[in-house]
Structures are given as C-alpha cells and as structure tokens.
Chain A
Amino acid sequence: MKLQRSGRKALALGAVAVVSSLTLAACGSDDNSGKGDSSSAPTTKASDIKCGDKGQLLGAGSTAQKNAIDQWVKDYQAACAGTTINYQPNGSGAGIQNFVQGKVAFAGSDAALKPEEVTASKKVCKGGQGINLPMVAGPVAIGYNLEGVDNLVLDADTLAKIFDSKIKKWDDAAIKKLNPDAKLPSTPIQAFHRSDESGTTKNFTQYLGKAAPNDWKYEADKKWLAKGGQSADGSAGVASQVKQVNGAIGYFEISYADANQIKTAKLNTGAAEPITVSVDAASKAVAASKIVGTGNDLALDVDFTTKAEGAYPITLVTYEIVCDKGNDPKSLKSVQAFLGYTASEAGQKAISDKGYAPIPTEIIEKVRKVIPTLS
C-alpha cells in the first residue's frame, strides 16, 4: 500500500538522520586549538599564567567586556589544562544578581555596585562585601551611515541635539559648521539607541549630560529616557541597523564598528584636533579618572569633559566584582589565578587589539595588589 510504504520510508529516513546525529554526537571535542585564524593563537606565554584549581569557574555579567574575557579565557585555558572558565554575557544586572545569590564566583559589570547591591552582597560574602575591580575599558564609538561623507566631526552639543531629535537633517547648520568641507546631504537623520537596558547607554547619556548640560536634560540611566529616535536590541542590533539604513547614527562599542565596517564620527572635545575613536584615545581618557571607591574597592569616576589631547571621553570602564572576604573556598584559588592573569601586564596587553583599552598602570597596579588579599 502506498501509504504504508511512504510511512516506512519516512521512518527509515528519520531514523537514519537521528541515529547519525547521535553517533556524531558521540565524538565531540572541546579542543579548538588547531582551528581558526592564526591570530587566535595564544598571545601570551604559558609562563605568565599561574594556574588555580582545576574544574569549572563561573562568571556572568556585562556584554561589553565579553570579547576581552573571551581572549583571557582562551589564554588561561591554554595554559591551565583541566580548567574551564564559563563567562555568561547576560547583562551587568543579571550578573550582579547571580553574584549576590552566590551562583557565580565573579560578576562582570559596566557600573560599580550600588549601595543596596553592596548590602545584598554581604549575605554571600561572609564577613566581607562585594568590591569593584576595574579590569578593562572600552571606547563607545559613534557609528554613522551617510553616503559620501567620510570624516564626520561632531561635538557633544550636536550629538545631544541629534539624539534628542532637535537636529533632524544631516545638512543642519550645526553639523555644517563642524564639517565645513563635507558635502552634507539633506537626508533625514535616523538616530538609533538601545531598546534594552545597558551600561553602554548609561555611559553615553552620562557623557551627554556632563559634556552638553544645556542640550541634554535627561538623567543618565541604563534605559534610554529621551523621546524620539529609533531603537534596536543590543549593540549588535544597533550596529546592524546603522549599517543597513542610510542616514543612520548610533552608539556601540568600537568592536562592533570594526566588525561591521561602520564609519565612526570624530569627536570635537575642545582639544586642538578632533579625536578619532581608538583604544589608545580611550586609555588616555581613563588615565584622567579618579578612584572613588574606598579600601579595596576601586570604583572609578571617568572625566567626561576632559579636553586632554588625544583623549576620547566616551569610554566605558568595566569591572570584575568579587568578594573581598568570604569567597567560596572552592573557587577562590581559580578566581585569584584568573583575575591575577587578567590584571597582569600580559593580560592587559592581550586585549588591546580586541577593541579594549588597558587600565592605566597606576590603577591596575592597585588591582594587582588587591587580588592576592582576597579570601
């Protein structure tokens, strides 16, 4: 009977597919050392890394530092066989919550712990509290897509007006003034912001609020509080929209601009030359920042209004959050070993070609001193 036959055929086909996927599943491998680009070879010698205990180390939090952590994890795992570090980029807020619930050994965050979060951390850090260790900084690029315009220069006031929908066309007088040589079309500006809450948004709006207080009246928040404009989910979403839409402008970590070949605007900060977004320029801005944390807590305050030559002020400092006392003894050694590597000279150097700025020497040295005292 025809029906029966086609049924058997389907059965056989399905069985073959399932069985083959299962046999395939029996021969998986965690070893990726032989694959990928040549540049993905470990950037550090194994001797730079002191290994902690074997087993799995869990971390969670900021998406902004994901690529840096990826690089560090790769190097660390290459040197320390038997250790797996699992960092979940589920957002700073979720990372901190996982941390205060004792589900992860360390959290990555775009912002220092708030007072109530410090209080909450005392429950899991027995006899101590959560502290912020600045580990990596990343410049936030202003990406744009405008045919025929290559070296766009903007300043804080203009940016504020653009993102507040006060400047609506690319040939607005304010933009013309900053770019006298460019042929600006009258294309409408489509400003993209993040629809999800993020440290990147907070950092960017903080910059606008500090550097353009007259034109930006909104509070700095993880959520975009201004009206108007378009939004997209995640830095990847914003970047892909800016790439697709002519006349678009948006903000995202520099790695997204590089990965998608999106043009970035130069920033007129009041320094002699407009600043091109780069890792070095971000490092210079971080160098001007102050430590505001007390004791072992090394939370930083970035100076958004800096006019220093070559300093790019829209720079996001991200932290690793751990307990100063009362860490889980099972993971303590691994945490110390891993963070010890990330704060080391080799660790900081390893991430500079991934779109991240190393933390300036005097601050990172303090971090290095804190790590061995964790208990």
Chain B
Amino acid sequence: MEISRSAPTQAKAVVPPESGPPNLRQTPVEPPAPQNKGKVRLGDRLFSGASRGSGILLLVIMAAIAAFLTYRAVGAIADDHGNFLTTKEWNANATPPVFGIAVLATGTVISAVIAMVIAVPIAVGVALFISHYAPRKLAQPLAYLVDLLAAVPSIVYGLWGALFLVPHLQGTTQWLDSFFAWTYVFDASQPEVTPRSLFTVGILLAIMILPIVTNVSREVFLQVPRMHEEAALALGATRWEVIRISVLPFGRSGVISASMLGLGRALGETMAVATVLSPSAILSLHILDPGGGTIAQNIASGFGEASPFGRDALIASGLVLFVITLVVNGAARLIIARRKEYSGANA
C-alpha cells in the first residue's frame, strides 16, 4: 500500500492537520494560563531570553560585517579613477586605480541565473522522485548519496569541472552555437575554442547546488501532512495530481528558501569558478564565449597580490555581492509572504 510504503504515521497522524478551526490557525500560539506560575515563568523566560539573545547576536554579527564592509569600501570607491559601476576593468593596484564591477556583477548574475534555471527544476524533480516516486529500497541510499554530494568541497568540483566537464561540453557548445545562434545569447564567436565560458560555469554551479536544493526540498516534501495527500487520493486523484494539489503548494516556501541557499552558494562560489572560467574584462551576453568574470572569483584571484588599497577595492566588490543577495532575497521573501497560509505553524 502506498501508505505502508513509508514510515508508520504515529503521533503526527493522530492529530488531524485540518482539525483546528481556521481562525485558531492564524493566531499566535500563547501559553495557556499557567497553574504553577513562578516555575513556569522562569523556565520560559530563560528559554525565550536565550533564543532572543541568539537572534540579536546574529544581527550584531551581521551589522559588524556590513559596517566593516562599507567602511572599507567607501574609501576605495572614493579614490576610484574609473566609475565603480560602469568600468569594465579591474586594475585596483595600478596608479591611478581604475576599477569597476560592470563585468563582474553581470557575470555573477548570469552564471547564477543559469545555475538556478538548470538546478531548481531538476532538484525539485529529484526531491519529489526520492520522496514520492522512488522504490523504497532505492530512496534511502539515494538520500544518502545526495547528502554525500552536498559535502564535496567546491575545490573538487572545480578540479572535476576543469579536467572533465570542460572538454565534455565542447560538443554541446558547438551544437548550441550551430542551432541556436539566432538567440544571440548562444552565439559563440569562436566555437572551436575550449568552452571555459560563463555557460560552463553556470552548469558546474548547477551541479554544485543541486544536492543542497534537493536535500532541503526533499525534507520539506516529506513533511506534507499525510492527511492532505490521502484526502486527494480519496478523491481519485492520480499521483501527479496529488503532488500538484497537496505537495507542491505546501512545499513552495521551503523550495524557495532551499533555492535561496543554493543561490547563495552559486553567487559566492569561488574556487570552482576560478578553475573553470577564463576571465577577462569583456562585457558580453554571448554566454558561450570565454570571458567575463564573477565577483567572488575576482576576489580570490586578486587577493594574494593585492596592495592594501587593492584589498579595500576587492572588499567594495564584496559589498556589491552583498547587495545583490539582499535584493534577491527581498524578492523571494515577497513571494513567500503570499504563500504563508500553507505553513503548518502560524509563524
């Protein structure tokens, strides 16, 4: 039976998820009037104080990082002889220093977008596959395998990318160029050159973030109340309809935050990009051409030989990365906010 395929549903299934009246689900959980006041209050106060303190500590750390980044960045940007936003070159150690993030920011966004476009649908697919489709005997080992892959250090992805992926993507690049050159983005000016391009980086990043997104999504899909699914089944829904009606809406906010985790890694990835990309100060939307760069890659390559001023300039680019994440997260947050009603808790 479908249900017996999974773990016995005990405590959770005893309480029907939909039992509470809707208005109750929207009010915050308040402790009932405590009977032995003093004792309860003390434990509660300590616990809530500790958790609140942790939250505040986290804010303090963030504030310290942001303040420090801004402090270092402002001085560097003020002495920039180029335009920090539109200059393509990054010559922060030269006199006078001329540097800008035009190429780096674009490259960061492009590679992350490629990674997300490829990775998120596949990751959700794999997560659904493991949670709802795979034969039980296969599901556990698969879950372990995915966990394991999340642990592969990025430098290893980088080595594998440079030695294995790049040569194997030559054909794909040429194929995309010959059939999809009209799309402009897939127009390669030198298709015979090894594809150490933003496109390759995007694919590698997709492979890298796949385990993370899969992992968190799977965990969320497994938490869908069985009653929701069983109700859909009872109405005669096919398996896909069950997933569409009950699993996906329930897991949406989880999938989005899983994607955010993945995006964070894709945006900030350093070593894998540095080993695979052939960076240059050329701004181009032809993603199959070697060239471009990402902010994190530039920090890593430039850091070793940077002068103190050059280091501040690199920190300024780090600040930009920071802002990009901020904007993206803000957008994601808006989407989640509209979907809150599917969350089990009231928060």
Contacts and interface: CB of A to CB of B under 8 A. Distances in A.
A binds B: yes
Interface of A: 1, 3, 6, 63, 90-94, 97, 120, 188, 190, 195-199, 219, 221-223, 225, 227-233, 237, 240-241, 244-245
Interface stretch (B58-66, B74-82, B298-306): B298-306
A196 B302 contact: yes
Residue among B93, B305, B306 with max Cβ neighbours from chain A (10 Å): B305
Contacts of B190: 188
B275 A237 contact: yes
Given A3-B8, A91-B304, A237-B274, 20 more contacts: A6-B140, A92-B304, A93-B305, A93-B310, A97-B308, A196-B274, A196-B301, A196-B302, A197-B301, A198-B305, A199-B305, A221-B91, A221-B94, A222-B305, A227-B282, A230-B193, A232-B278, A237-B162, A240-B162, A245-B194
B305 A94 contact: yes
A223 B91 contact: yes
Interface in B277-312: 277-282, 290, 300-308, 310-311
Q: Which 7 A-B pairs have the closest CB atoms?
A: A91-B304, A196-B301, A197-B305, A93-B305, A230-B278, A233-B274, A195-B279
A120 B309 CA distance: 13
A9 to B, nearest CB: 11
B192 interface: yes
Contact of A93 (B196, B282, B306): B306
Interface string B260-275: 0000000000000011
B125 interface: no
Contacts of B277: 195
Nearest to A240: B162
B278 A231 contact: yes
B56 interface: no
A231 B280 contact: yes
Contacts of B282: 227
A90 B302 CA distance: 11
Contact of A222 (B90, B93, B279): B93
B163 interface: yes
A6 B93 CA distance: 58
Contacts of B330: none
Interface string B161-191: 0110001000000000000000000000010
A63 B300 CA distance: 15
